[in-house]
Chain A
Amino acid sequence: DTAVSQTPKYLVTQMGNDKSIKCEQNLGHDTMYWYKQDSKKFLKIMFSYNNKELIINETVPNRFSPKSPDKAHLNLHINSLELGDSAVYFCASSQGRGHSYEQYFGPGTRLTVT
């Protein structure tokens, strides 16, 4: 059983399109995250949700909108895609919010914008 799953694994699309990435965790965790890994492998947090409440919004363009229908799901919708959005997007979850909990990551979604 996959603990944190993401769909799709690969996403190729053209500039200006709108796309969504879905994330689900079956660990019973309260907190979920989105991270972006750029072409140089640098990982940076984008958003964090705890029990469907937005906790962290890390200066991400408004074109990115996370949605958490329930605490097991955190989706990422991206409007008007740009070339610079090409990256690997990782979803993660942790048992609680706060600094002491390890985060478990999904397999990543490689987004390519052409």
Chain B
Amino acid sequence: AQKVTQAQTEISVVEKEDVTLDCVYETRDTTYYLFWYKQPPSGELVFLIRRNSFDEQNEISGRYSWNFQKSTSSFNFTITASQVVDSAVYFCALSEAGIYNQGGKLIFGQGTELSVKP
């Protein structure tokens, strides 16, 4: 069965620290996409990144980086030199390519609440 697990419910760091948010997924499909979304205190959901199952290259975007490892079914997210504005709930999500997901359903993890203190 498909599942996304974000074991860290809450993380608290001090500004400028690096922090890694873990995401582990389960799927029987060989073709799938993984996503990260940010939900700041204002409540909206902001798309951060999309990664397909055949592309294991790490991605870096400014202070954000993502490490995708199929061998461990993980898609971890690292924020370097964290800032107060990074405080938010971060969600990892999975979308499978199987015939039962013609609608593009996203399966979300439970979310990790990151608090960055000044």
Contacts and interface: CB of A to CB of B under 8 A. Distances in A.
Interface in A30-58: 31, 33, 35, 40-45, 48, 50, 55-56, 58
Contact of A108 (B32, B35, B43, B113): B43
A107 B44 contact: yes
Interface in A77-114: 88, 90, 92, 94, 96-108, 110
Contact of A58 (B47, B52, B105, B113): B105
Given A100-B33, A103-B47, A55 B103 contact: yes
Contact of A41 (B50, B52, B89, B103): B89
Given A41-B111, A43-B91, A103 B44 contact: no
Interface residues of B, number: 28
The winner among A41, A45, A50, A55 for most chain B CB atoms within 10 A is A41
B75 interface: no
B112 to A, nearest CB: 10
Contact of B33 (A42, A88, A99, A105): A99
Interface residues of A, number: 32
Interface stretch (B11-19, B65-73, B79-87, B93-101): B93-101
A110 to B, nearest CB: 8
B45 A99 contact: no
A72 B52 CA distance: 27
14 contacts: A41-B89, A41-B113, A43-B91, A43-B106, A44-B108, A48-B104, A55-B103, A58-B105, A92-B45, A97-B102, A98-B104, A99-B32, A100-B104, A108-B44
